[in-house]
Structures are given as structure tokens and as C-alpha cells.
Copies of this chain bind each other. A is one copy, B any other.
């Protein structure tokens, strides 16, 4: 993979203004109880409110609590709390981990917010990706359906997704545009500004609070025009002028060296590939990359190719984008996937979802020969304008192999710059830091290591180590005008897992069982005893799944039965056998026997029936 080192115009000076204070108060715990958990306090008492506003000298601390996104990729959610007013930023989910089998996704734990849900004045959404909006249908209801402020595209996506949750309350969304400001409650003011990311209408928020401005760019990258000028850099400068107390910085790609690849560069390379292709082109990318898709459509029009969109999520996103005017295709350019075969191969470009090798995607159906309208041809050109999301390496490899068997020309980001990620890389982060000059830096969106890499970056341009704050999920931070303290107070942020219709009902014990069952399977022993004598009445039944193919293991089955009889036979003969004791004997002795025989540890589930 080539270095992502591109030239850029440096707009920000290298120097940093000195921060006003880097003292770290030794202990502010004493004040924290004052602001914790104030229950059902409401904010709409004008007299009290005015008094409080008058007091907003900034001496009372602002509470900042990240609920997710600081120790993982995903589950982004945090809140600010001043007196009895709360503003939440984002409500994302996280995709499951290797050690959470069967789980659909993990959502932020809001148990600490529920008792003070009346205090929630606003939920601010930075953009429409699921790691920022995915948990809304689960969380808005329990939080009393607070008002949501979201940019246009995110609003449309939230509303579309709502259809899948008929029982969740209809969200109350106020659409906000860049440059708008909103006064929220008595203490906060929101100032929305545009940032570049891989979905349209991404925005950053500058939240003015009694103690200073808290700036969160959401997910962002720097993008540049052909001359290397950074888009929307004026927005960053505008926010910088307001003065930044704390900058919550997306550090997903902090460990990626150099400057980001520009979208223009990606489009140029894609255009070259598209020109070179002699027959049909199938291009796959993320379904939310509306801007890139829109540019590809323009290139297709130049090359006189029709464009068909394949995959439900991309089609739906395109519908939204068209309604919002984000995609402007000429009459006749877009054709349905059914029409593809009516056109000559050299006149067709198919854009499809499924770049991650998702087993149920439209692209996988094409590759597996199961698509109703599209079959791969040797003469096709397949282009992956996408990266591999960590964890999907194996499935993307299978997909690519499946394509390479049928198609000669396959291109991916390893072979050329035909994808740019959505997150600012190290040099770009430095540019932003130099421009914003925050008093405190809080790297967010990323694993702990990424956050320490971001701290190193910041230190390399003169930010003091003590002014870079690395709270974990659930750490309560107390912010005053002259101090940012990570307290010892900890909010519960344990996993809340969504599995089918269940939210939070899958606990660690269930997951542990799933992992055990996946490893060595299980054996059920059904032993029927005579209630009066404690003797075995019939041949023990044995059911096993995932352990060994029992039909091929008759001898082992016989030995298990012999062992079971032996265990019961050695018990003193009497009425009312202690079933729990007997079960523990089965678990231990049959477990040991099977381990000795197979070096596997299936779960042993004894059932004792007394008749």
C-alpha cells in the first residue's frame, strides 16, 4: 500500500498559544456529589433558572461523561451535564465482537441517565452512520424521547430506520444546517459546522457551556481540492476564533501515518480505471458513500455508461440522497438492475453493496451465481472502492477469491488508491490541532492505544501531556474554567447487548455458554431412576451436539453408559436420591472420562428423571 503522503497547503501556524492552566487539581471528588443523580429535577422554573443563569460563573463544574466509543470502534455516545441540564451527543451501536457470539449489536448503557431523563435537553447527532445513530430506536424511548438535532441526511436515515421499530416512539427531530446555532436550555448553545466524512451532511458541534466551548467534530477527515486546499478549513478557523476549551477528537486513524488521500485523487484513479475497462464494470463501495457514488455517476455519464444500483441499503440511501438533491443524475443514466442485460456490457456500470463479503448481500449473490439478473463474466472489471473493516478480512478474502475465479480484472485499495478512509490521519490531525489550539484535548473514537498515539501527536506539536485527557467509558470528568479532572466516579457502561428482540437480556453467563458450546459442544445424559430404589430403570439416553459424531462412536457411547451405570451403582441404595449430588458426579466423572478419551471438554448436562 503506497504511502498516503500528499502535499497540502498549510494554513495553520506551527506555534501554539500557551494554555491558561495545566494544573491538575489533586482531588475534586468532594464537589462531585453535588451534581450527581439529581433525580427528577425539572428545568422549567423561570425564577430558579434565572438565578442559576446569573450564577453561571463557570465555577460550578461541567460534567462530561463518555458512555461509549473510547475503548472500541462504535457505540459512540457521550453527554454534558451542567446543573440540571444534559446534552447528549450521538447514540451509536457497536458491531459484535468475537467473544459475543450470536449478538446482533452492543448499545450504550444508559442506566445512569434514566433517573434524570427529564434533564435531557437535546440529543445532537453528528452524522448518519450506525455507530452514531444505530442505538436511537432502543434508547430514545427509555430516555423520554428527548428532542433530537440532526443534519438533513442523518434525519432522513433515522426516520427511514424507524420503520423497523414500530413499537419505538417516533423521534422528534429538528433538522439543523451548518452555521446554525441553537440555544438549548439555560446553559448551552449549539453551533453546527460542516466537516468532511464519508457520508453527506456530516457535522461538528461547538457547544458553548458556562465553562467554555466543547468542540466535537464527530467523525471527520480532511479532504482537499486538486490544488491541495482543504475543504471547509474556514469552518475550523471560525470555531478556533471562538476559543476551544476542550476538543473531542476522532482518533480512529491517528495511527495511520501521513496525510489523507483526497477524494479527488480517488475519483481521478477511479475515472482512469473506468476508462480502461473494455466491458462491463462492477464497482462496490459502502452504501453510505453517497458523495463518491454521485461522482462515479458523473464519470459514468462522461463515458456514456448506464448505472444500475444493486443492494437494498444502497438503493434506499440513493433514494434519500436524490430526494435531498445530493445526487443529480441525468435523465436515463440510472437504470434498474433488471434492465442491465438490455444494454451492451461496455455501456454498463453496476454499483453494489457487499464490499465486506456480507453473506446476504446482493454482491455475494452475484458472485455465488444466485442473483436473478446479474452473472459475472470473464470480461467484467470488478473494483473494490472500499477498505476492509477489521474483522472482515476472511470474508472479503473469500469474496475476492470467488470473483477472481470468474473475472480477470479485479482491483482493490491495495493495488491502487481507489479508496480514502473517513478519518483524519496523523498529519491531518496535527493541522487541525494547530488551527484549533484547544486548551484540553480528549481523543475519542478509538481503542486506548489509538488515543495514546493521538496524545503523542499532540505532544509533538507542543501540547502538554497533562492537557491531553484519556478518560475511559464511564469516567466522570469535571470541567471548570481552569481544570479538567477525570474523577474516580464511574458510570456503569457494561455491555447492553441486542439479540433478536431481546435488549440486555443476554448476559455474560449466556455468552460464556455459547463460547463453550462452540468450542467442544455438549452431551446430555438422561438417566431414569426408580424413585423407591434409586436404581436405573432403563438404558441411559445420550444426546450430543457439536462434540463428536456419535453415530460413528458407538463404542464411546457404550462406555459412557457403562460409566453412568457405574456411578449410580456405587451410590448407597435408598429412596430419594440426592439429584444435585448425582448430577455433579455425572458432570465430574463423565467430563473427566471424555476429556481423557478425546482431549475435549463438552458441556455435560445430566437430567435425572425419577419415576
Contacts and interface: CB of A to CB of B under 8 A. Distances in A.
23 contacts: A98-B394, A102-B521, A397-B449, A404-B452, A405-B448, A499-B600, A501-B599, A502-B599, A505-B549, A514-B517, A514-B518, A514-B519, A517-B518, A517-B521, A517-B545, A517-B546, A524-B524, A524-B607, A526-B526, A526-B607, A528-B611, A543-B605, A609-B609
A258 to B, nearest CB: 8
Contacts of A509: 549
A449 B598 contact: no
A393 interface: yes
Interface in A535-570: 537, 541, 543, 545-549, 552-553
A607 B608 CA distance: 12
A400 interface: yes
B524 A513 contact: no
B401 A548 contact: no
A43 B232 CA distance: 78
A118 to B, nearest CB: 28
Contact of A514 (B449, B511, B513, B521): B521
A427 to B, nearest CB: 13
A449 B607 contact: no
A558 to B, nearest CB: 17
Q: Give the oligomeric copy count.
A: 2
DSSP class of A's interface residues: helix, strand, loop or mixed?
mixed
A257 interface: yes
Contacts of A546: 102, 510-511, 513-514, 516-517
Interface of A: 1-3, 71, 97-98, 101-102, 255-257, 390-391, 393-394, 397, 400-401, 403-405, 408, 410, 414-415, 447-449, 451-453, 499-502, 505-507, 509-511, 513-522, 524, 526, 528, 537, 541, 543, 545-549, 552-553, 597-600, 603, 605, 607, 609, 611
Contacts of A102: 518-521, 546, 600
Interface-central residue, A98, A255, A390, A448, by most chain B CB under 10 Å: A448
A426 B266 CA distance: 23
A71 B397 CA distance: 10
A243 B541 CA distance: 66
B400 A449 contact: yes
B507 A549 contact: yes
A607 B517 contact: no
Contacts of A1: 1, 3, 256-257
The 3 closest A-B pairs by CB, nearest first: A500-B599, A518-B518, A517-B517
A98 B97 CA distance: 13
A545 B404 contact: no
Nearest to A73: B397
Contacts of A403: 449
Contacts of A397: 390, 447, 449
A524 B393 contact: no
Contacts of A607: 524, 526, 541, 543, 607
Given A502-B598, A505-B548, A514-B518, 20 more contacts: A1-B257, A101-B518, A101-B519, A102-B600, A255-B415, A401-B447, A401-B448, A404-B449, A415-B453, A499-B600, A502-B600, A505-B549, A506-B548, A510-B521, A515-B518, A517-B522, A526-B526, A528-B611, A543-B605, A609-B611
B390 A390 contact: no
A263 B459 CA distance: 31
A611 B514 contact: no
B524 A605 contact: yes
A403 B447 CA distance: 12
A304 to B, nearest CB: 28
